[in-house]
Structure 1
Amino acid sequence: MTYIPHGDHLIAGEKIRTEGRFSSAPVEGTAHEFSAGTPEMVARACAAAHAAFEEFSATTREERAKLLEAIAEEIETRGEAITAIGSAETGLPQARLQGERGRTIGQLRLFAEHIRKGDYLDRRHDKALPDRQPLPRPDLRMMQRPIGPVAVFGASNFPLAFSVAGGDTAAALAAGCTVVVKGHSAHPGTGEIVADAVVAAIARCGLNPGIFSLVQGGKRDVGEALVTDPRIKAVGFTGSLGGGRALYNLCAARPEPIPFFGELGSVNPMFVLPEAASARGAEIGQGWAASLTMGAGQFCTNPGITVVVDGPEADTFAGAAKEALSAIAPQTMLTDGMAEAYRSGAARVEAGKGVRSLLTATCAARNASPYLFEVAADDWLENHELAEEVFGPLGLIIRVRDSAQMEEVARSFVGQLTATLQLDEGDTDLARRLMPVLERMAGRVLANGFPTGVEVADSMVHGGPYPASTNFGATSVGTLSIRRFLRPVCYQNLPDTLLPRDLR
């Protein structure tokens, strides 16, 4: 199915064209022109979100659940067209986009089911004790309430699951917050067709169209205008450390600082413990290579670094990883800029002190092939730049002298989204010593698996200490993500007629 983009912004259900234009850069097929965002367009979208918030925040959980389900249905209706334009714009395989679309739809329906139950409201009631001495206690009730209009930045690497109708938008709508999305210029057609689905769902449900707006593209001033608009009360972001930190600083510097929920990526270290390395080092190396190259390594959970004790077992692991990586054909990256950044990152790692190249690649234009390097732990510990993320299929093996140095290396990592243990029964004591370190380091700790693939579920945590994310107490995946866009309100001695419906 062919979709021809209209190229307009979608502001409170209305298609709006601006004079400034930009062109998409598809891997294949025809490029299309789109209206470029402006601060004025951002202000218009924020005004609509602000005007609609009071009404939308008062909707019932059932009304919001039906909206989320309607969005899922509208996305399903456009499924083939979304896959076609998404694959053309990003170079991602159609099967990957079909899976991502299923994940997005499943997340919307999961959130609908979750808010129907009402547990996320964390309702509490301390009954009045008028006869308590020395002082009586008032009647106290508490529940979570929507925080206000939310700004969402579409992600480059997940055109569906972390973009226009992805996790941040779904969580904000579930919470009862209105949303303004800044679409990512790497896949504007994909963003547009998904936004069309959201607008159609809002109309079907008879809700205020100001609930949702999409502002396409634009220069840096568009993002700055969005996070500094006084009507925006929280921001959801998935992207680079540099860009995320700049927006975070703007949020903190506002006259009214607001929370910035930024997911900024990580190197997701994997620790291969001695018994596991001895028993199945080759198998682990092959699995690591597959995880490392999934989606051209353009996952925020890409396990870019492995730590293993030096010796024959490390040789076996490295050899198996190299063999598996050598068989990986070049993959198309999401943008030319990402491909160039990947090549620059590989050159930076290769130039590091003590770094040895096990597998090099020639990456032309928008393509990426795997790189594999190794370094002794002593050199690693002296060069903090080696711990910086390279977005793409690049692997670095750190060889440690013994388990004590493995612990030392573990303590050297900054905040991560994930940390993985490959262990067998004989590794339990070492794993037990590492666990407190990994818990402080990462939002998700895995055993005998690989971190690519983030399950959308009640228990999932996709976040971690800085710089993995800017708010270590939050997750951008799973039902707990809804809590980011809520705040507790206590009601003291209020009559039932004035209480929110869910507290009566």
Structure 2
Amino acid sequence: MGFTPTGKHLVAGDWLEGEGFFASSPAHGPAHRFSVGTGALVDRACEAAEEAFWYFGYAKRWERAAFLRVITEEIEARGEAITEIGSQETGLPAARLQGERARTIGQLRLFADHIELGGYLDRRVDVALPDRQPAPRPEIRMMQRPIGPVAVFGASNFPLAFSTAGGDTAAALAAGCPVVVKGHSAHPGTGEIVAEAIDAAIRRSGVHPGVFSLIQGNSREIGQAIVQHPLIKAVGFTGSLAGGRALFDLCAARPEPIPFFGELGSVNPMFLLPEALKARPEALGQGWAASLTMGAGQFCTNPGIAVVIEGPEADRFTAATTEALGKVAPQTMLSDGIARSYHEGQARMSERNAVRPLLATPMSGREVSPSLFETSSERFLTDHALGEEVFGPLGLVVRASSAEDMERLARAFVGQLTVTIHMEAADLAAARRLLPILERKAGRVLVNGFPTGVEVVDAMVHGGPYPASTNFGATSVGTLSIRRFLRPVAYQNLPQGLLPEDLDG
């Protein structure tokens, strides 16, 4: 089942052209032309989203849940075509895209179930105390309400799960917020076919068409226009630190500042404690190599740094990692731009006096090989650039001189999505000293695992202190992510007939 993109934008139920065109740059297969969005299209999409909010934001929870489930049916109906064009555009293997499609569907269904249960409303009631002295207390009820139209930016590294119908879109729609998506130019055809599925679900469900729009473009102007539009009330973003920070600043500078929920990147350090390193240095090295190169290292939870204590066990770990990485065949990066950034990052690392290359293969083009470097704690602490993310399969071993030095390194890290402790039972005391430091650095702390792979469950936190994300109190994965698009409203002394249905009774 093939799919040929129209190259148009979906704006409130209509497929429209903009001004000018850009061409996709697929890893294989045909390139396609896509229309470039305009300010007029942004206005039309945002105005339609605001109009839709008066219906969708006040719809019954079961109605929104049913709509989410219809979206999953329409995505599944296009499964083979989604895999085909997604593989062409990104170079990802079919199995990865099939798994990501299942995750996308799973997220939508999870939110459908979640809002039907109603716990996310966080309803609270303080009964009236008319006889209280010296003054009576009124009845006060509170619950969470949707905030209005939300802008979502598609991610380069997850063309399905973090893009058009991904986690941000699922959470916003579940909350009752219409969505305007800025499609990612690395996979515009994939974005279009998923938007087609959502459009079909809107028509089947009788939902207001302004509840979803997709605007494509290969420049920053369209994204800037969307986040600066006065009808947009929040932004969900997954991408680079530079791009995310620029949009964050625009959101803060608006006449009405709005929250920008950006997931911006992380090096996800691992701390290998002495007894674990003594017991299984080879297994840890092989496990790290596999995690580091999964998907060509193009995961935001890719563990880019391993902290070890100097000694023969550290040598064995490093040797095992180098050997395992050397056996990894070249992999295709998701886009020409990501590959170019990886080449530049590897070159910068190779040129630094503070590091020693263990594996650094000269490369060009979209096919890349893994790289491995090492440095001392002293050099790492004085060269802050060593702690910056290089997106791709690049690892850095940092050698500490002692457990105290390892703790000093832990304190020096900026905010992360994840941190990992590898330990044995005999490392428990050292792990206890590290944990208070590490939980201040990241949204997720792991023990004896690798962070690549984010479970879509109630308890997941995918976020962390800046620069991992722009809001340390939020997550972009898991049911708690719906809270980004809600705000609490208190209702004081409302008569029964005026109370919102979810607070009545």
**TM-score with structure 1 setting the length:** 0.99
Aligned to 1:404: 404
Which residue does 2:319 correspond to in 1? 319
Structure 2 gaps, min length 5? none
SS in 2 for 1:204: helix
Aligned length: 504
| Kept in 1: contact 2:10–2:195 (CA 8 A) | yes
Q: How does 1:69-80 map to 2 (within 5 A)?
A: 69-80=69-80
**Alignment check: 8 A CA contact 2:19 2:38 kept:** no
1:216 paired residue number: 216
C-alpha contact (below 8 Å) 1:353/1:383 kept by paired residues: no
Are 1:439 and 2:435 an aligned pair? no
Q: Does 1:230 align with 2:207?
A: no
Matching residue's letter, 2:294: M
| 1:41-64 deviations in Å (ceiling 9; x for gaps) | 111111110111111111011000
Matches within 5 A, 1:291-306: 291-306=291-306
> Identity over aligned residues, as a percent?
69
Amino acid in the other structure paired with 2:319: G
1-structure distance, mates of 2:39, 2:155: 20
CA-to-partner distance for each residue in 1:425-468, whole Å, 9 max, x for gaps? 01001100000110000000000000000000000000000000
3-state SS, counterpart of residue 280 of structure 2: helix
The answer to whether the aligner puts 1:199 opposite 2:199 as a matched pair is yes
Structure 1 residue 136 displacement after superposition: 0.7
SS of residue in 2 equivalent to 1:399: strand
> Which amino acid in structure 2 is aligned with residue 215 of structure 1?
I
Query: Does residue 276 of structure 1 match 2:276?
Result: yes
Question: Which residue matches 1:4?
Answer: 4
SS in 1 for 2:144: strand
Verify the 8 A CA contact 1:38 1:218 in the aligned structure 2.
no
Is the CA contact 1:143–1:488 (under 8 Å) kept in the aligned structure 2? yes
Pairwise CA distance, 1:361:
1.1
Task: Output the CA distance in 2 between the equivalents of 1:161 and 1:170.
Answer: 10
Please list the CA deviations of residues 45-90 of structure 1 after superposition, one character each: whole Å capped at 9, or x if unmatched. 1111011111111101100000110111110110000000000000
Aligned counterpart, 2:465: 465
What's 1:376 paired with?
376
Give distance in 1, aligned partners of 2:298 and 2:73.
28
- Counterpart in 2 of 1:108? 108
Q: How far 1:360 moved relative to its partner?
A: 1.1
Distance 2:81 2:205 in 1: 23
Q: 1:316-368: CA deviations, max 9, x gaps?
A: 11011111100100000011111111011111122223311111112221111
Instruction: State the secondary structure of the residue aligned to 2:352.
Output: coil
- Contact 1:24-1:188 at 8 Å conserved across structures: yes
Paired position in structure 1 for 2:122: 122
Mapped to 1, the partners of 2:6 and 2:353 lie a distance apart of 52
Q: Give me the whole-angstrom Cα distance separating, in 2, the residues matched to 1:349 and 1:244.
A: 24
Moved more, 453-462 or 329-338: 329-338
Q: 1:50–1:215: structure 2 CA closer, same or farther, 3 Å change rule?
A: same
Aligned to 1:99: 99
SS at match of 2:475: coil
CA distance in 2, matches of 1:119, 1:78: 33
SS of the residue aligned with 1:497? coil
Amino acid at match of 1:13: G
Moved more, 460-469 or 42-51: 42-51
1:34 corresponds to = 34
Q: How far, CA to CA, are the matches of 1:161 and 1:52 in structure 2? A: 24
Q: CA RMSD in A?
A: 0.7
